[in-house]
Amino acid sequence: MQILFWDGVDTVNYGFTDRYLAVYTFGLMMHKSPIIYKECFRLIDDVAYLDEIIENYDSAESVKIYTNLIDNLIWNLGDILKNLIEARSNLNDRLYFEYGKNIG
């Protein structure tokens, strides 16, 4: 939204000095607005998803916690093991940046 705001300010400023840049900047605003609109709603959806996760996992007795953990381990166990093996070899070779990427 801040990008659109400053493009609007530039459009008004260019309106007094250079009409071509004013029209060009207005066109940039029209081009960027759908992209920014989608990104803003993606952020709103992410926040709503985080609220749902916090609500579902509020208690340690929730069955959803354990079923999701088991589900994630089943689907991602191969990747986890591969990253652990690579991390160990990177640590032995003193490649600390690669080690950090694998652990992350």
87 band by pLDDT with thresholds 50, 70 and 90: very high
Which tops the pLDDT comparison, 29 or 43? 29
Please say whether the dihedral angle defined by the alpha carbons of residues 80, 86, 90 and 92, taken in this order, is positive or negative: positive
pLDDT in tens, 47-79: 777 777 777 777 666 777 778 888 888 899 899
Mean pLDDT score, 74-95 = 91
The values of phi and psi at residue 62, to 5°, are -65, 130
Contacts 24+ apart (CB under 8 A), 74-81: none
Question: From the centroid of its chain, how far is CA 15?
Answer: 36
